Structure 1
Amino acid sequence: MALSPFHLAIPVHDLPAARAFYGETFGLNEGRSSEQWVDFDFFGHQLVIHEHPKTPSQEKAHTNPVDGHDVPVPHFGVVLEWAQWEALAERLRACDTEFVIEPYIRFQGEPGEQATMFLLDPCGNALEFKAFRDIDQLFAK
């Protein structure tokens, strides 16, 4: 079954900085926009950044321990193909991105083994990008 694109709208307290981050750092194509919001093609999904005062989770993210790392909550992202994930990690490193959790392989040798990385946008929204060598392991226990 083919996946349907999701729509996600997130708050950003610095629209120009967030616009540059998603457009230039990630190289995402822009869609519609206004003075208060911008649509992006987020790997085939619709991400909308909306101007909004800073939220408590943007000020200081809560974390939960996962595989020896403090994972920021809330967070969002996308599951990429392995080569796409590697290319994105390299692109982000080339842009001197500060990672919350550096790109690495999580759950090595276990069901659900995955490549993952976490970072914050300029407004403190946490993002995770992951990849599975075997996509059938996406929901493995």
Structure 2
Amino acid sequence: MAARIADLADTLLQHPEFRAARLGVRQRVGRTIISTLDTAADDSVAWEALRIADEQIETLAATAYQAVQANLDRIVRELVTNAEFRAAATAGARNRVTEKVLTAVADGFAPSAYLRNEVTTRAYRQLRGLSAHQ
């Protein structure tokens, strides 16, 4: 049973949708993945695999975002030149583009809302400054 739990947890960690899911929806995403992959998994096996994967993903994401923090200026510059970001007409649309970019550079892990908002705001301010001078 322990090997089965470990295998399911590892499968979750490798699954892009689980990696990118925010904490609030990760359990639901994980349960869906497990039910698709292992229809015979009982609740105790599924919950233990989810618990293990969730703990590990938080550690992995924190490590990935430490590296991202060191490159925020570059990421902001990339967003300013990103056609999708430039075309985004609302704050929500800009946040979605920023989240997609941050997730890509952080090995598939979703950013915190705080970091996403900070990067979006910095890029938007730079974009507005560039637009005013063009």
Q: Normalised by the size of structure 2, how large is the TM-score?
A: 0.26
User: TM-score, normalization: structure 1?
Assistant: 0.26
* Structure showing greater Rg: 2
Q: Higher strand proportion, which one?
A: 1
Which structure shows the bigger proportion of residues in helix conformation? 2
